[in-house]
Amino acid sequence: MVDEGWDVRLERVDIDEEGVGRFVYAIETPSRRFSFGVFSRTSSDDENTDRIIAQEWDMWAFLCEGEVSPAFMEAQYEELPKVIEGRAGPEVLIWVRANRSSRFFDHVVDSLAAGHQPDIDFLSEGGYLMRSSGYYGNGHNATKMFSAMDDDHPLKAPYLPQMLAVYMLRVFGYDLAEEMAAARSSEAVSLDDDIKRYLGTGNSSGVGCIMYVVNHPRQINAWLRAREVALARAKGNEATDADLERFTEVLARAKQWFSEDNSETNEYFMSKDRIAEGLDRIERTVETLESDGTTLWKRLCTWAERELEAETQEVLHSLLLDVYPDASRGLESALITSEKTDLVPEMRIATLQSYIDSSYQWALDIDFGEPGAQRRFWYRSVDNEEPRIGIRGEHDAEEYELPVDIARQVQGLERDLQEWSPTDTVAEFLFSYPEHRSIVERIQSLHGLPYAEVRGNPLDGDFVPLYFISLLKSFWGISKTHPKSMGWVRGTFFQGAPLVSELDGEEAPYWTYPSRPERADQWRGDE
């Protein structure tokens, strides 16, 4: 967007002082026009749940191709509130629903209406004004299919339509706050650009992500493989003086960002201060490592594996990708993958067994006889269309259990395969054991994909869904994550990203790990 100088502007707005009304944004790219239409309202506290199946939200919005006529706006107004059965139409790329942050949004509006800027120390606790739990596209609710986009489509890459909607939700939050403040007071001021840039778009995600991780193994492999290839390339670079200077710069930004992040980590995530301490150790160590014939970056990562926790190691890895952005070039096409699987009935049992031995030893090592190893089961609520976790033997939905138990299925298959000759075929085996067809097809189809299976046991009583959720959200660049429970995490997208006024065709700035804006002379009305 920055490189191509996209033009994003508020084209039409009509709201009252409570923020109820409509917005239409124009998004002009070098090749085509998009629009972002918003229906803004207010919901009561008990309605504001962030659950995907919720019927009431503070706003409904859509991202579409072309211009938005009044008739099209009305049609979307009728359909968007219908969570399950609503129909978007082929021009629509994304549907999104979102809520205002009850604490931070009201504080910003009140401050601006009073003629001064909000308290940045307070805002930094959350980092956003608007928060959504889902972006619906690629055929969902009859939105345009990804495969139907032209090859030269500006959003023809995985999740670009969704991420543009995330960015536009950020833009809308600022504009809504300023419009409401102006409607309330002639003394209202605009939100400071430094504060806008520091904030992002909120996201709330729950256990539904677990099903996604299990059901999309090829996609998981594609994204993790691309990241590992890029990291290997980055680590293979010889460090020049300019590279070291760049690394020192991004490391300092990251250390400050983690030190300033006051969001709660609870018992599930490592303390942000602890990560900052690890980054400080990296800073002290990077130039003291003795040469061993490998690159400095390989030596540094090897040292980190010995000395630092996994969370801090991964921050180091991401910083190396920031030092060498060219390491990621050419990998975009690898992110597009098919989830299609096929059974190979003529395969010999010996070959299938070799696949299990080489790729699923982690599954065979899980002891399902241990207390608690099968305590939970997963099912989908009929009333709410949401994945749920049940306790085996205590909840009556066990007969509707969903197949998230990959490791248990592998062990069941392994036991029954022992009765068969290595020269027998998979087809012969499945005639006797048809219940194994799904796991056999999965093993065959995923062979050679090293990152396809997330090696965990979602049935275990000690399993923390938050880790699977965070894995998925990391693909799209979520930051400032803070868990609300073991299965519910909130975080921020686009914190530090350029504003619409900065999409100017110049080189995009480095905006990861933004520093907190300087505190203004007057933030609150009583100071």
21-43 pLDDT, tens digit per residue, is: 999 999 999 999 999 999 999 86
Q: Contact 41/20 with Cβ under 8 angstroms?
A: yes
The verdict on pTM exceeding 0.85 is: yes
128 domain-assigned: yes
Q: Contact 27/34 with Cβ under 8 angstroms?
A: yes
Q: Find how far residue 125's CA is from the centre of its chain.
A: 20
The token pair at 500 is 């619409």
Q: Is 89 left (phi over 0), alpha (psi -120 to 50) or beta?
A: left
114 domain-assigned: yes
Tokens 């056999």, located at residue: 440
Phi, psi of 210, deg, nearest 5: -60, -45
DSSP of 330-380: T-GGGG---------TT-BHHHHHHHHHHH-HHHHT--TTSTTTT-EEEEE
pLDDT band at 526 (very low <50, low <70, confident <90, very high): very low
Phi, psi of 226, deg, nearest 5: -60, -40
261-275 residue pLDDT tens? 877 777 888 889 999
Q: Find how far residue 504's CA is from the centre of its chain.
A: 27
| Percent of the chain whose predicted confidence (pLDDT) is above 70 | 95
Phi, psi of 74, deg, nearest 5: -65, -40
Question: Does residue 114 surpass a pLDDT of 90?
Answer: yes
- Between 109 and 479, the more confident residue is 109
pLDDT band at 524 (very low <50, low <70, confident <90, very high): very low
Please classify residue 267 by burial: count the beta carbons closer than 10 Å to its beta carbon, then call 0-12 exposed, 13-18 middle and 19+ buried.
exposed
pLDDT band at 112 (very low <50, low <70, confident <90, very high): very high
291 SS3 class = coil
- Looking from the CA of 191 toward its CB, the CA atoms found within 13 Å total 29
Average pLDDT rounded to a whole number, residues 106-134: 92
Residue count of the chain, please give it: 527
- Between 48 and 173, the more confident residue is 173
306-316 residue pLDDT tens? 999 999 999 99
Question: What per-residue confidence (pLDDT) applies to 520?
Answer: 54
Average pLDDT rounded to a whole number, residues 204-225: 90
Tokens 């070098």, located at residue: 30
- Between 428 and 124, the more confident residue is 428
**Cα(301)–Cα(285) distance, integer angstroms:** 11
46 domain-assigned: yes
pLDDT band at 100 (very low <50, low <70, confident <90, very high): very high
200 domain-assigned: yes
Average pLDDT rounded to a whole number, residues 67-80: 95
Structural domain range at position 93? 7-206+493-502
264 domain-assigned: no
476 domain-assigned: no
Give me Rg for the CA atoms of the chain.
25
283 domain-assigned: no
Q: Contact 509/498 with Cβ under 8 angstroms?
A: yes
232 domain-assigned: no
Question: Does residue 49 surpass a pLDDT of 70?
Answer: no
**Cα(28)–Cα(6) distance, integer angstroms:** 6
Number of domains present in the structure of the chain: 1
H-helix or E-strand containing 180?
helix 160-184
500 SS3 class = helix
**Cα(137)–Cα(186) distance, integer angstroms:** 40
DSSP 216: -
Question: What per-residue confidence (pLDDT) applies to 384?
Answer: 65
Looking only at the bridges linking them, the beta strands covering 376-380 and 200-205 are unpaired
Tokens 């960002």, located at residue: 257
